[in-house]
Chain A
Amino acid sequence: MKYWRETLAVAQRILIELLRRRRSLVFWTIFPVSILIINGFIVAERAQLSMAEAFEYAAPSTLVGAALFFSCLGGSVATVVAEREQQTLKRLFISPLSGTSYFLGIFVAHTCIGIGQTLLVYTIAAFWGAKFQGSILLGGVIILLSIISYVGVGFVLGTQFARRTEDVNALVAAFGVPLLILGGAFVPSFVFPKTLLDIAKFNPVYHMVKALSGVSDEGKKFADIELHFWFLYVFAILMVVAGWLSYRRMLSVERRL
């Protein structure tokens, strides 16, 4: 009850702040829409697919690769860094707020944004006739695991590496863009040379894209994407643990007025 109440308070606060600032929300809307449309048209043209098939192909990679990466990872880094920068974190330390609720609050807020983006991407894809082929439940779980992973990484970066808001962009670009390209978010991974593909197998974004495309585009069952799913699952757990440890470490350094 205490955790739930605190989690909601934190999540709601983050969402109100984002609504006030608007800039991030506008970016998180325009970015996936433009990537989806560009990807859709390129795939339709190059692979000689129908528009519906092309957007079915483009939607999952656009969502978990590009959209959620910037909103959930970039967004949670920005939230944590802003809180450190304006030092409101200290005010939270002197309050009875638990670290768990704080983490969960950030997670819930970014999940709301992630769900919004999911609806946006799939609605636009549906406009061109794309359908969600496989189990929506399984797809939802994959999307949720992706969000958890991204928020976990965001927590690690936000508490350990980024000190100021200016650091966020540099960090996200330096870590993110190569990972996204290597994950097949922009360029389909079937065009990768073999060495690159071998490297990509260690990239969590690659597994997110593969798992969600499998379900959403190719209508695969759980057994067919099991490997990608478990990789993602383990990665998500590891990131939550890493995020938690980084938070503890930050506490021991910054927990004072």
Chain B
Amino acid sequence: MLHIKRLSKSFGKRQVLQDLTLHVRPGEIYGLLGPNGAGKTTTINILCNLVKEDRGEITINKQPVSEATKSLIGVAPQENLLYKSLTCAENLDFFARIYGLSKQQRWEQVQVCLEAVNLVDRAKSPVETLSGGMKRRLNIAVALVHLPKLVILDEPTTGLDIEARYEIWELIRNLKKQGITVLLTTHLLDEAERLCDKIGIIKDGRIVVEGSLSALRELIPAQEVVVVQTRDEESAIARGKQLGFTHRRYGNDLAFWLPEPLELKEIIACFDGIAVDAIARSPVRLEHIYVEVTQG
């Protein structure tokens, strides 16, 4: 569906993208993750033909990026870009018209999209009267109205409460069910964990790792991550070393990678003689992989 090969772009002396390569298969939800300034939005700009690449090959549905591929893509930008005094239906209808849908198609698509984002009963409400979550959903609906093959969602749930976030996740899963390919950027690792079939982590303008969540888990030689709360961290780290546990810091937390799964009492026994206040266990999560890849 989307193939990017050795894409490079610099602004002045600043190299933003360096030989970025990624492939998104039809019907897949691809999560593009990376720290601020890694080049995610720049990549999207190039896909939308807003910024010209310096080098590289990009094809969308087998066509090179051009004005003509704009209709293949639906973008829900990071901010809600909507006409505030127009109603939900009018916003959708306007963009459908710009994309060249006939009157009949427009009428149908406006209904379909309103239903998809659960805003049918607000069809005639001006955008300025909607809640944050509703605006966000309409922002996504606008990206869907012209029946694009590839939908790009730039941080779709940033700034939403958990209920609204669940609704958007549900919506994204429904897109997948309809066979729409989704490219998603996010800072929320649990969001990527829940939704994405494939994850690419971008750092300094290149994809450093790419794969399904289970494939990415292989990158960390651990069965489990154990966070240890103690006043005597030095002893805990020394003990970990003796036992062959790699240690890491996740924010303030001191954590150890367990190469083999252990029972809770075995874990407690490992730190015997050290003043431990609490122990928390978790499987290897995207957070751990992300930190490893972007900070390593």
Contacts and interface: CB of A to CB of B under 8 A. Distances in A.
Interface in B140-172: 142, 154
Interface in A83-113: 86-88, 90-97
Given A91-B142, A257-B48, A257-B77, A9 B85 contact: no
B6 interface: no
Interface string A1-42: 010011001000100110011000000000000000000000
Interface stretch (B21-29, B95-103, B202-210, B213-221): B95-103
Contacts of A17: 83, 85-86
B126 A86 contact: no
28 contacts: A6-B97, A6-B98, A9-B94, A16-B90, A17-B83, A17-B85, A17-B86, A20-B85, A20-B126, A21-B85, A86-B81, A86-B83, A91-B81, A91-B142, A92-B98, A93-B48, A94-B48, A94-B50, A94-B75, A94-B77, A95-B70, A95-B99, A96-B99, A255-B50, A256-B41, A256-B50, A257-B75, A257-B78
A256 B81 contact: no
Contacts of A93: 48, 50
Nearest to A251: B50
Given A9-B98, A90-B77, A94-B70, A20 B48 contact: no
B186 to A, nearest CB: 15
B233 interface: no
B264 interface: no
A2 B100 contact: yes
Contacts of A255: 50-51
The 4 closest A-B pairs by CB, nearest first: A9-B97, A20-B85, A91-B81, A94-B48
B83 A13 contact: yes
A96 B86 contact: no
B50 A257 contact: yes
Interface string A166-208: 0000000000000000000000000000000000000000000
* Most chain B C-beta atoms within 10 Å of own C-beta, residue among A2, A6, A20, A21: A20
A25 B149 CA distance: 41
B107 to A, nearest CB: 15
B48 A16 contact: no
Nearest to B94: A13
Contact of B100 (A13, A96, A257): A96
B263 interface: no
Contacts of B174: none
B85 A13 contact: no
A59 B36 CA distance: 59
B38 interface: no
Interface of A: 2, 5-6, 9, 13, 16-17, 20-21, 86-88, 90-97, 255-257
A90 B86 contact: no
B71 interface: yes
A96 B73 CA distance: 10
Nearest to A8: B97
Interface string B240-261: 0000000000000000000000
Contacts of A87: 79, 81
A20 B86 contact: yes
B294 interface: no
Contact of A257 (B44, B82, B98, B126): B44
B232 interface: no
A256 B45 contact: yes
Contacts of A21: 85
B177 interface: no
Contacts of B124: none
A97 B98 CA distance: 6
B86 A16 contact: yes
Contacts of B86: 13, 16-17, 20
Given A20-B86, A20-B126, A88 B97 contact: no
A104 to B, nearest CB: 13
Contacts of A96: 67, 70-71, 98-100
Contacts of A95: 70, 95, 98-99
A5 B97 contact: yes
A256 B99 CA distance: 19
B281 interface: no
A153 to B, nearest CB: 24
Contacts of A256: 41, 45, 50-51
Given A13-B90, A97-B98, 18 more contacts: A9-B94, A13-B86, A17-B85, A20-B85, A20-B86, A21-B85, A86-B84, A91-B95, A91-B142, A94-B48, A94-B75, A95-B70, A96-B98, A96-B99, A255-B50, A255-B51, A256-B50, A257-B45
